[in-house]
Chain A
Amino acid sequence: MTATRDREVGTARRRKEDAHLITGQTTWTDNIQLPGTVHAALLRSPMAHARIRVDASPARHEPGVVAAYSGADLADELAGLPSAWQVTPDWVAPEHKPLATDEARYVGDAIAVVVADTRAHAVDALDAIEVEYEPLPVVLDMEQAMADGAPLVHQDAGTNVCFRYSDTFGDVDAAFADAPVRVRRRFVQQRLVPCAMEPRAVLVAPVPATGEYTVWSATQIPHFVRLFLALLSGVPESRIRVIAPDVGGGFGSKLDIYAEELLAFVLAGKLGRPVKWTETRSEAFQATIHGRDQIQDLELAADADGRIRGLRVDLLADMGAYLQLLTPAIPLLGRAMFPGIYKMDAYRFGCTGVFTDKTPTDAYRGAGRPEATFAIERMLDELAAELSVDPLEMRRRNWIGHDEFPYDQIAGLTYDSGNYEAATARATELFDYDGMRAEQARRRETQDPVQLGIGISTYTEMCGLAPSRWLGDRGYAGGGWEAATVRILPTGKVEAVVGTSPHGQGHVTTFSQLVADTLGVPFDDVEVIHGDTAAAPAGLDTYGSRSLAVGGVAVWRAAQRVLGKAKTLAAHLLEVSEDDLEFSGGSFAVRGTPGATKSIQEVAFAAFAAHSMPDGFEPTLSADFVLEPDDFSFPHGTHLCAAEVDTETGRVTIRSYVAVDDVGTVVNPMIVEGQVHGGLAQGIAQALHEVARYDADGNLITGTMVDYTPPSAVDLPAFTLDRTETPSTTNPLGVKGVGEAGTIASTPAVVNAVVDALRPFGVRDVPMPCTPEHVWRALSEARGGA
């Protein structure tokens, strides 16, 4: 029996994920309590750079202590942590031990570990560890780090330069030679702290008799964690099961192989009992990766009417003290995105990665793309100001027309589809662009102390890092494929096993919708299994908005295979040819023979019983699919921000924010909206609130939530959202990916608005975050004051 049902794709289904989260029946890693567990606490360097001599032995006599080790004690047992993306053949990749052995290189660098019966005892015993610190000179600023005679973060390397990379497309010199207009700017992408609400945590339970390990980790990448634990420890991956249970946000910061994961793994093996480590928030600030941190020098050459001829980009990218999993690749991921949605004849990109005595940087929401988009969108505004053209008009003069797709852009990517005109038209209408400009003019005329600024960001981004060959050509050790298995169980219920590993994105719901539509089964009959390498052994996890654009397509393909198999069996059971069958509403019907039907559930039971099958038919309705994507997908959109800037206090208030995004086919509009909301919050936070600041000695002075000021509900406006839908042509679902869009687009929209408000005063830039202090300083400098 089958019920006719509505299409799932496009429906705002309430999330299956919510039930346990709203009732507190959660499995955060730190919730798991195993008998016999011991707790690890780490001693971290209070100095940004120091030679260290550590004696952990006194801690061994403290109450409850089971073991205590310095880095030197474990030097032979702990392998160095990997960086998986060699961006140039001659990069400098210093050894990165989970516990520093003879030198600490940033405040928070782990130098010793205590394991005790309770976390409190472990923390108490850290005080007993004896450390001699011999301070070494500290280098925190990238430009100073590159100067001759600068103190070295890694003595052995002989340099603070990690890599130099450059690429040229077209004849850049010709483009700049006699250009009527040139605009040069330097932007600083401040260092950010990802600040997922759940701190990192890891629990490793060994079975000494068999040499097996179960690892729970608050990670985005259980498959990579298993792989690297195996590579670094020599334990075969078949003996390592990694589970990412409920994970409380990541935003890139849980896309890493961390010192504490390897340490807990090695200690659990050594001690033969479960070892747990949970980060405090203070540790999260110091020892979980940071994001952004670039100095960007850009120059645009244009014709007199503003048509862009060429773009030059020079980046300094702060690696921090060590390379984490993808550290050097992050700025280079932006390489192809600096040209944005614009046509140009020539482009040169250069980037230097620099070591400093600070927390390592790595992927943070958008990873390289927000930095690039910010720069080009700010430049378009500056170009518009230079030529006294409306910034929206300046974009129209340069962007790729909707009839020009697919479009081979200057940096070698092919944008498959897009319609910048449509998204912009919708956004300007919702925003009342002309009305806002009129109000702006009034306020300027009346010299209102509160000026109005209008900020535009018309962005595109690349989602679903792939194909694997493309990644390999650029030095990445991994691939870009994704795996899924779909099986219809004997009862007719369906399991979809996926290699992606969500941490708040609602994959269970979205994937259920895809499978329900494909197989014609009820949404509630689909179970999605993820985040456990025992249940879902193959996968490349979740980051870079790849989960739907790559993982979702894999799920859909696997479901198609299952359907194909079901059809073969249905034809056999109904004694007709497959060509005579029609599939709809979850049921196979023989064309022209009313009543001759088999529901997919009946077929599934027949496949399980396997009493009567065509020759060569494999029992059960199950299929795998490993998807190797053809290319990226390119979401785009137009964001408009109206900001009120108080010229007396420097205070910025977002008056209105409109986002029209085009993420291709939308599976669940409610989830898509939620992703955009969250993305906007993080992008606006970069524009207005957040910065990781160090003092001259290298202490992180924004090391708590009080100082770092992540926005609360009062700090953010209500957003107005809409969509256009231009399906991607690089995958059969037409989906594009949405997780990073809001973050990428909003930072330049907000800063453009702030600068726009202040342009009549001569302000041409305000450094991020645009706090009252920064705004006020920019104003008084422009006015020629102190």
Chain B
Amino acid sequence: MTRISVTVDGAEAVDEVEPRTLLVQYLREQRGRTGTPVGCDTSNCGACTVLVDGRAVKSCALLAVQADGAEVTTIQGLANGELHPVQKAFHERHALQCGYCTPGMIMAAVDLLNEVPDPDERQVREGLEGNLCRCTGYQNIVAAVRDAAAELRGAS
């Protein structure tokens, strides 16, 4: 067991973890952050994407111990009293169906829009390449991310 201290969705936590525990397991099982789901065991699907110190990371590709000292934001910590513009746009644009990929998509999109505030369609598609969705065909996801981009630009 190793002791780590992590800020998860704004709350500081000190926990004992097995060295082999993945960050996503830690978040789900020890921190109750079950909003972040697991879709694969090869770090390909992106369902488990969270922000670690502001950058999108597949939380199944990181050990919990690697997050020691970091600030982790999951889908459950993204809404700040009101929905984040990306969340709002996903709802408005019908960018989700079953919703299983959605937390990861939203977190990846948030990071993408930090980097590229005014992405064209191609840039959105490339930016979300690591996140698979089996339901939507991506069209509405792309539209939602571009809507959110416009909203975020307007707000800043």
A residues within 8 Å of B by Cβ? 14-15, 17-19, 21-26, 28, 30-31, 33, 120, 195-199, 246-249, 251, 280-282, 503-506, 670-671, 673-675, 677-682, 704-706, 710, 712-714, 716, 718-719, 742
At the interface, yes or no: B128 with Cβ under 8 Å from chain A? Answer: yes
Residues on the A chain within 8 Å of B138, using CB: 677, 681, 712-713, 716
Asked whether B96 lies within 8 Å of A713 as measured between CB atoms, the reply is no
Asked whether A705 lies within 8 Å of B98 as measured between CB atoms, the reply is no
| Contact of A15 with B91 at beta-carbon distance under 8 Å, contacts A22-B106, A197-B39, A680-B137 already known | yes
Asked whether A31 lies within 8 Å of B28 as measured between CB atoms, the reply is yes
**Interface hits, B89-148 → A, CB 8 Å:** 90-92, 94, 96-103, 106, 121, 124-126, 128-142
| Contact of A26 with B34 at beta-carbon distance under 8 Å, contacts A281-B39, A710-B132 already known | yes
A497 to chain B, nearest CB (A): 22
C-alpha spacing A705/B90, complex, angstroms: 25
Query: What are 23 A-B pairs with beta-carbon distances under 8 A?
Result: A19-B91, A22-B87, A22-B90, A25-B35, A26-B34, A120-B18, A195-B134, A196-B98, A197-B98, A197-B132, A246-B98, A248-B98, A282-B41, A671-B94, A675-B97, A677-B136, A681-B137, A705-B44, A710-B132, A712-B125, A713-B126, A719-B137, A742-B137
Query: Which of chain B's residues has its CB closest to A15's CB?
Result: B94
C-alpha spacing A703/B97, complex, angstroms: 25
B30 to chain A, nearest CB (A): 11
Asked whether B102 lies within 8 Å of A22 as measured between CB atoms, the reply is yes
Asked whether B76 lies within 8 Å of A24 as measured between CB atoms, the reply is yes
User: Can you list the 6 inter-chain pairs with the closest CB atoms, starting with the nearest?
Assistant: A24-B35, A248-B100, A21-B99, A504-B98, A677-B137, A24-B75
Residue of B92, B121, B133 touching A718 (CB-CB under 8 A):
B121
Residues on the A chain within 8 Å of B45, using CB: 197, 281, 705
Asked whether B42 lies within 8 Å of A704 as measured between CB atoms, the reply is yes
A235 to chain B, nearest CB (A): 29
C-alpha spacing A311/B94, complex, angstroms: 42
Asked whether B137 lies within 8 Å of A26 as measured between CB atoms, the reply is no
Asked whether A17 lies within 8 Å of B99 as measured between CB atoms, the reply is yes
Asked whether B37 lies within 8 Å of A30 as measured between CB atoms, the reply is yes
C-alpha spacing A195/B42, complex, angstroms: 14
A171 to chain B, nearest CB (A): 44
At the interface, yes or no: B13 with Cβ under 8 Å from chain A? Answer: no
Asked whether B142 lies within 8 Å of A249 as measured between CB atoms, the reply is no
C-alpha spacing A120/B26, complex, angstroms: 13
At the interface, yes or no: B149 with Cβ under 8 Å from chain A? Answer: no
B98 to chain A, nearest CB (A): 3
B121 to chain A, nearest CB (A): 7
Residues on the B chain within 8 Å of A199, using CB: 38-39
Residues on the B chain within 8 Å of A675, using CB: 97
Asked whether A246 lies within 8 Å of B99 as measured between CB atoms, the reply is yes
Asked whether B83 lies within 8 Å of A197 as measured between CB atoms, the reply is no
Give the contact-size bracket for chain B. 35 or more
C-alpha spacing A710/B100, complex, angstroms: 16
Residues on the B chain within 8 Å of A505, using CB: 97
At the interface, yes or no: B79 with Cβ under 8 Å from chain A? Answer: yes
Asked whether B100 lies within 8 Å of A23 as measured between CB atoms, the reply is no
At the interface, yes or no: B57 with Cβ under 8 Å from chain A? Answer: no
Query: Which of chain B's residues has its CB closest to A675's CB?
Result: B97
Number of contacts between A and B (CB, 8 Å)? 174
Residues on the B chain within 8 Å of A716, using CB: 137-139
Asked whether A714 lies within 8 Å of B125 as measured between CB atoms, the reply is yes
Residues on the B chain within 8 Å of A23, using CB: 35, 75-76, 78-79, 83, 87
Could you list 4 further interchain pairs (A-B, Cβ under 8 angstroms) beyond the known A712-B128, A712-B130?
A14-B92, A197-B98, A681-B138, A705-B44
Query: Which of chain B's residues has its CB closest to A250's CB?
Result: B98
Residues on the B chain within 8 Å of A710, using CB: 132, 134
Asked whether B128 lies within 8 Å of A713 as measured between CB atoms, the reply is yes
Asked whether B94 lies within 8 Å of A31 as measured between CB atoms, the reply is no
Residues on the B chain within 8 Å of A742, using CB: 137
C-alpha spacing A260/B38, complex, angstroms: 19
Asked whether B34 lies within 8 Å of A31 as measured between CB atoms, the reply is yes
Asked whether B41 lies within 8 Å of A713 as measured between CB atoms, the reply is no
C-alpha spacing A25/B103, complex, angstroms: 10
Residues on the A chain within 8 Å of B59, using CB: none
C-alpha spacing A511/B99, complex, angstroms: 19
C-alpha spacing A679/B137, complex, angstroms: 7
Residue of B28, B42, B94, B102 touching A706 (CB-CB under 8 A):
B42
Residue of A15, A248, A281 touching B40 (CB-CB under 8 A):
A281
Query: Which of chain A's residues has its CB closest to B127's CB?
Result: A713
| Contact of A678 with B41 at beta-carbon distance under 8 Å, contacts A14-B94, A26-B34, A248-B98 already known | no
Residues on the B chain within 8 Å of A197, using CB: 39, 45, 47, 98, 100-101, 132-135
Residues on the A chain within 8 Å of B20, using CB: 120
B126 to chain A, nearest CB (A): 6
Which among A24, A246, A282 has the highest number of chain B CB atoms within 10 Å? A24
Residues on the B chain within 8 Å of A196, using CB: 98, 100, 134
| Contact of A674 with B124 at beta-carbon distance under 8 Å, contacts A197-B134, A280-B41 already known | no
| Contact of A21 with B131 at beta-carbon distance under 8 Å, contacts A678-B137, A719-B139 already known | no
Residues on the B chain within 8 Å of A719, using CB: 137, 139
C-alpha spacing A505/B47, complex, angstroms: 19
C-alpha spacing A174/B57, complex, angstroms: 66
| Contact of A678 with B42 at beta-carbon distance under 8 Å, contacts A14-B92, A22-B102, A716-B137 already known | no
Query: Which of chain A's residues has its CB closest to B33's CB?
Result: A24
| Contact of A713 with B100 at beta-carbon distance under 8 Å, contacts A249-B134, A706-B42 already known | no
C-alpha spacing A28/B48, complex, angstroms: 14
Asked whether A718 lies within 8 Å of B99 as measured between CB atoms, the reply is no
C-alpha spacing A627/B121, complex, angstroms: 45
Residues on the B chain within 8 Å of A713, using CB: 124-126, 128-129, 131, 133, 138, 141-142
B89 to chain A, nearest CB (A): 10
Which among A26, A247, A716 has the highest number of chain B CB atoms within 10 Å? A26
C-alpha spacing A706/B35, complex, angstroms: 25
Residues on the A chain within 8 Å of B47, using CB: 197
Query: Which of chain B's residues has its CB closest to A683's CB?
Result: B137
Which among B35, B79, B87 has the highest number of chain A CB atoms within 10 Å? B35
Residues on the A chain within 8 Å of B29, using CB: 33
Asked whether B41 lies within 8 Å of A281 as measured between CB atoms, the reply is yes
Which among A31, A247, A673 has the highest number of chain B CB atoms within 10 Å? A31
Asked whether A198 lies within 8 Å of B94 as measured between CB atoms, the reply is no
Asked whether B140 lies within 8 Å of A677 as measured between CB atoms, the reply is yes
Residues on the B chain within 8 Å of A682, using CB: 134
Query: Which of chain B's residues has its CB closest to A194's CB?
Result: B134
Which among A197, A249, A670 has the highest number of chain B CB atoms within 10 Å? A197
